[in-house]
Amino acid sequence: MRYLERPSPLSKITDLLSQIRPIEDVLTIPTWDAAGFVAARDVVMPHDYPPRPRAAYDGYAVNSAETPGEFVVVGSILVGQYREARVGRGEAYYVTVGAFLPEGADAVVPEEAARREGDRISVSRKYNAYDNVDPPGAYAPKGAVLVKKGQVLTVFDVVALLDVGVTKVRAYRRPKIAIFSTGDELIKPPIDPDEAAELVLRGKVIESTGSLVEWYIRNYMPYVEIADRRVMGDDNEALKKAVEEALQKVDAVIVTGGAGPSEIDHFYKLGFAGIRGFRMKPGRPTSVAVVNGKVVFGLSGYPISALHGTIRIVEPVMRKMANVVAGPGNGWVYATLAADVTGELAQFVRAKAEYKDGEIVATPLRTKHHSFTDPDASGVLLIPPGGAKRGDKVLMLLYRDPRDMGRWFA
């Protein structure tokens, strides 16, 4: 399979996907290290959070039934303090945001709304149960699904899970990949910049294709672990040995360079059966072979062509191997609002994003608290002061992949 006379359509990759073995190993990962991993089970709340009523404002914890009225401040509970305490009739505790309320209290009077003299406060209006309070389970009730199986955990998920006390998750082992950049012409930084420039003018090439592929994988495919990265020459035997050794340790190998049909190209000389050449431009010589359930990719030595091959071919194959159902997004996009968002203030609102006819349609999610715990949320909307209307375009910081991967090979 030396020449590229009949490159395959991209849709051919779907045949190959059926030969890919998804990773089955499941690990327990501390949540703070879990960004980029793929949830192997639905992540379900093991308890209510907060486990008991929690102050949502700095002020005085009271029994709402006694408002309006006068109270004696008998103590204070600061966030992070855990204290067995209760308010008796006519008593209040000073609490700070996030503190658990003492027994008997069900509302918080904001500090600036109470008139205090010495250890006495006067509250001039009626408060209701749970005013300025997060009731038990308000952030997430026991049994709630926080992350769905197959979702790639993002930094937002990590924050949300830690917030409600979910400190470990069951995740698939990430497939390991090796990236071998090949070419006798390659020089590898760091070297003296002036010397490097001189070498480029004499025909050498500063290695950057592997760097670009690595950058894309780190940013858009964090569910893949880059286990090895080398810059090598064009020696076919050395490459063959390196690839075969790598396949003992990793799940996939990318070879950049040597993808063409020339005498010095080496990818075809590796002799792997697979698909060689796709109907794409640039990156026509992009190749892929399945070897005992593992995968070897051949990418162009040109950065832009290699990146195209990574996106079109490497990414869908590795998503399959990594068990990805919903990839990570990152980036600012303009989304079309599916509902009005009212309010005078500049707002930051979680939303569900859906792809519809080439637009990201964002449905704001109604959450009164500060957490992110909603597996349907896929980003945060930046709403200008004064609010925004249904149909308006607003900026959205996405943390799930906005792309319609279902149409990937169309």
Residues 221-260 that bind its own copies (CB under 8 A): 260
Tally of CA atoms within 13 A in the half-sphere of 211 that contains its CB: 8
User: Of the two residues 67 and 208, which places its CB atom closer to its own copies in the complex?
Assistant: 208
Report in angstroms how near the CB of residue 234 gets to its own copies at its nearest: 8
> Which of 251, 316 has the CB closer to its own copies?
316
CB of 73 closer than 8 Å to CB of 122: no
- At 34, list the tokens: 């879990």
Residue of 284, 294, 319, 400 interacting with its own copies (CB under 8 A)? 284
**Least distance to its own copies, CB of residue 255, Å:** 16
Tokens of 11: 């849709």
What are the Cα distances from residue 242, in Å, to 31, 238, 342, 361? 35, 6, 60, 47
Q: Assess 143 for contact with its own copies (CB under 8 A).
A: no
Site for its own copies in 311-350 (CB under 8 A): 311-312, 329-334, 336, 343-348, 350
Q: How many CB atoms are closer than 10 A to CB 254?
A: 26
Copy the structure tokens of residue 275.
Answer: 């698909």
Q: Select from 63, 305, 373, 378 the one that contacts its own copies (CB under 8 A).
A: 305
Q: How far is the CB of 21 from its own copies (least distance, A)?
A: 27
Regarding 211 and contact with its own copies (CB under 8 A), the answer is yes
Phi and psi, residue 364, nearest 5°: -60, 140
Nearer to its own copies, 261 or 274 (CB): 261
Least Cα distance to 17 among 283, 275, 272, 321 occurs for 321
Query: Would you count residue 374 as binding its own copies (CB under 8 A)?
Result: no
Site for its own copies in 18-37 (CB under 8 A): 30-33
- Which of 12, 41, 204, 229 is close enough to bind its own copies by CB under 8 A? 204
Output DSSP code: residue 151: B
| DSSP string over 48-66 | -BSSS-EESSSEEEE-GGG
Between the CA of residue 382 and those of 227, 334, 393, 394, what are the distances in Å? 37, 10, 10, 7
Does position 53 bind its own copies by CB under 8 A? Answer: no
| Near its own copies by CB under 8 A: residue from 206, 291, 339, 365 | 206
Q: Binding-site residue total for its own copies (CB under 8 A)?
A: 119
Which one-letter DSSP state was computed for residue 326? B
The single residue among 15, 25, 70, 184 that binds its own copies, judged by CB under 8 A, is 184
Binder among 6, 18, 82, 292 for its own copies (CB under 8 A) = 82
Q: Which helix (H) or strand (E) holds 193?
A: helix 193-201
Residue 368 in the binding site for its own copies (CB under 8 A) = no
In sequence order, the 6+-apart residues with CB closer than 8 A to the CB of 325 are: 148, 149, 150, 151
Contact present, 275 and 16 (Cβ < 8 Å) = yes
Q: Which is nearer to its own copies, 47 or 269 (CB)?
A: 47
Least distance between its own copies and beta carbon 151 (Å) = 17
Cα gap 298→269, rounded to integer Å: 11
With CB under 8 A as the contact rule, which of the stretches 61-69, 170-178, 314-322, 378-386 interacts with its own copies?
A: 378-386
Q: Which stretch binds its own copies (CB under 8 A): 65-73, 120-128, 140-148, 179-187?
A: 179-187
Among 68, 88, 143, 193, which residue interacts with its own copies (rule: CB under 8 A)?
193
Among 133, 138, 153, 164, binds its own copies (CB under 8 A): 164
| Contact set for its own copies, span 84-123 (CB under 8 A) | 94, 96-100, 111-112
CB atoms within 10 A of CB 342: 11
